[in-house]
Amino acid sequence: MDQRSDTELVRAVRAGDRSAYADLVRRHYKGVFLVCLGVLGNTHDAEDVAQETMIRGYEKIRQLRDAGQFGHWIVRIARNLSINFVRRRAAAERAVGSRPEAPARREGHNDELEEAVARLPHDLRLPLVMYYYDGRSVKTVAERLEISTSGVYGKLRAALRELHDALTARGDAE
Amino acid sequence: MSGPCEAMQERIADYVLGALDEREAEGVQSHLGACEACQKYLRTLTEHSEGLAALGQHIQMDMRAREDKVIEALETMAPGGSQRSCALPWMGRLLRMAVATVLVLGVGITIGRVTAPEPIDVDQLRADLERSVAASLRPAVEERVDARLEAALTDGQADLSATLTAEVREELKVFGAQLMAGSEAMMDRRLDDFLELIEAARLKDRQRVAQAFEQIELNRMRDVRQLGLGLRTLAVQTNDEPTTMPN
């Protein structure tokens, strides 16, 4: 991958170098996708919104004031687009009167756990996904979500507890 | 078996997350040695934690393919930021909207101030008219004086100059008198026009007040009629009812 800094890559993109943006995608897509997954709860929607986010970032890169803040900026776009998507999806579900079907079960996959994660409220799911799916760094999660590390720990504790309660209740019912 | 100790649940979650320092971790371990329910709770949370990490690894497996898909989609686009140019790229959308709002309000207030009718100040009007008429006549006077003086100097006759000076002075007096007469006449006409306008507005107001009084009087008479009818109805009903006395 290109060793240039985000600032240099953003300047290159602004000067018309499309390949520089491909390097920014390689560098930041994972963070963007995980934010989308954390808010939306399923990989299919997360892929769509993450792609929309990267395209939006490309279109609006001239509006980024501090080129060195590209990572924070693009994650913020991802979060806003995901929240808007959740609202539109909820409105559509209300209009149709049903929820989308759960994905088919896959061999060797912890579907119960994935479903329980998908049912968490998104303010708990987002830090949980960012922590467990991307290197278990509370500091990174805190920076990306712009909250304190103690705030991240609080969310993770609550998310684990909710997961435990949901999965225990499901086990008891079966 | 009963559930985990309520007071220990957060501690155990922190233990799984690695959020405790050494002394706090030892405290949790000490409790776990003596509490089977909390041991089970720890095992379950650890399983969830490992399951989540495994899910994360599974999701990351497809990350490269997802990145390729995005880059492919970007290939079809125009160079970065050129699709929609922004006049003020350093401004956020909200800030631009705020500036636009302030500009619109400013223009509106300015237009409002310019076009709003002001009360008539007769003295000010008189002074303005005098200044206006004097300013419009002054160039003509000066031009005429200059022309006469120039003609006199060309002839080189001092006496002519004196004569001309006297003539000019006389003319200036005449002009001054005409100027004053003209300005006063114009001012009187304007004042008459304004007074007519004011009188017309007053007349209109009086008519509106008279109409309002008429309407009030009509309403009052209608209310009186309705009250009379109501009282008559009440009187009739009262007479119809048999008089009953409590025992």
Using DSSP's 3-state secondary structure scheme, residue B43 falls into: helix
Q: Which fold has domain A1-100?
A: Rna Polymerase Sigma Factor; Chain: A (1.10.1740)
Q: What is the mean pLDDT of residues B117-127?
A: 67
> Among A64-73, B38-47, B59-68, B121-130, which is the least confidently predicted range?
B121-130
pLDDT of residue A92: 84
Segments in chain A below pLDDT 70: 1-2, 97-109, 170-174
Quick one: closest CA in A to B11, which residue? A157
Residues 6+ apart with CB under 8 A from A125: A38, A39, A41, A117, A118, A159
Over 60: is that where the pLDDT of B88 sits? no
> Among A24-38, A154-168, B27-41, B185-199, which is the least confidently predicted range?
B185-199
d(Cα B175, Cα B152) in Å, to the nearest integer?
21
- Dihedral of CA atoms B238, B239, B240, B241 in degrees, nearest 10, equals 50
The CA angle A104-A160-A108, to the nearest 5 degrees, is 30
Of A65, A114, A160, the CB nearest to B90: A65
Residues of chain A with Cβ-Cβ distance to B17 below 8 Å are 138, 153, 156-157, 160
Residues 6+ apart with CB under 8 A from A22: B71, B74
Helices B122-155 and B158-240 pack at an angle, to 10 degrees, of 170
Could you count the other beta carbons within 10 Å of the beta carbon of residue B50?
A: 14
* Average pLDDT of every residue of chain B: 80
pLDDT of residue B182: 81
Contact check, Cβ <8 Å, B13/A161: yes
Identify the band that residue B156 occupies on the pLDDT scale cut at 50, 70 and 90.
low
> Among A57-61, B14-18, B92-96, B134-138, which is the least confidently predicted range?
B92-96
Over 60: is that where the pLDDT of B219 sits? yes
Over 70: is that where the pLDDT of B114 sits? no
Judge contact between A9 and A21, C-beta under 8 A. Answer: yes
Q: Quick one: CA dihedral A49, B85, A67, A22, positive or negative?
A: positive
| The CATH number of the domain covering residues in A107-174 | 1.10.10.10
Domain boundaries, chain A: 1-100, 107-174
Residues of chain B with Cβ-Cβ distance to A59 below 8 Å are 77, 80-81, 83-84
pTM for this model (two decimals): 0.56
Residue A115: Cβ-neighbour burial (10 angstroms; 0-12, 13-18, 19+): middle
d(Cα A102, Cα A118) in Å, to the nearest integer?
10
Over 70: is that where the pLDDT of B234 sits? yes
Over 60: is that where the pLDDT of B180 sits? yes
d(Cα B170, Cα A146) in Å, to the nearest integer?
89
Q: What is the mean pLDDT of residues B111-123?
A: 64
Residues 6+ apart with CB under 8 A from A42: A103, A118
d(Cα B177, Cα A54) in Å, to the nearest integer?
83
Q: How far, in Å, are B68, B180, B195 from residue B185 at the CA level?
A: 88, 8, 15
| CA neighbor of B141 nearest in space, from B167, B175, B113, B166 | B175
> Among A105-109, B63-67, B94-98, B107-111, which is the least confidently predicted range?
A105-109
Residues of chain B with Cβ-Cβ distance to A132 below 8 Å are 49, 52-53, 55-56
Identify the band that residue B179 occupies on the pLDDT scale cut at 50, 70 and 90.
confident
d(Cα A88, Cα A122) in Å, to the nearest integer?
15
pLDDT of residue B155: 64
Using DSSP's 3-state secondary structure scheme, residue A60 falls into: coil
Q: How far, in Å, are A107, A123, B47 from residue A139 at the CA level?
A: 34, 17, 23
Structure tokens at A5: 């800094």
Tell me how many residue pairs between chain A and chain B have CB atoms under 8 A apart. Answer: 116
Over 50: is that where the pLDDT of B85 sits? no
Over 60: is that where the pLDDT of B1 sits? no
pLDDT of residue B242: 53
pLDDT of residue B161: 66
Structure tokens at B209: 């007040």
Identify the band that residue B167 occupies on the pLDDT scale cut at 50, 70 and 90.
confident
| CA neighbor of A149 nearest in space, from A163, A136, A168 | A136
Q: Quick one: CA dihedral B182, B183, B185, B189, positive or negative?
A: positive
In percent, how much of chain B has pLDDT > 90?
A: 27
pLDDT of residue B247: 43
* HEC string for A100-131: CCCCCCCCCCCHHHHHHHHHCCHHHHHHHHHH
Structure tokens at A17: 């170098």
pLDDT of residue B139: 77
Contact check, Cβ <8 Å, A132/B84: no
Identify the band that residue B92 occupies on the pLDDT scale cut at 50, 70 and 90.
low
Q: Is B9 on the interface with A (CB under 8 A)?
A: yes
pLDDT of residue A104: 56
Residue by residue, DSSP assigns B174-191 as: HHHHHHHHHHHHHHHHHH
| CA neighbor of B53 nearest in space, from A28, A82, A137, A35 | A137
Q: What is the mean pLDDT of residues B124-134?
A: 75
Over 90: is that where the pLDDT of B81 sits? no
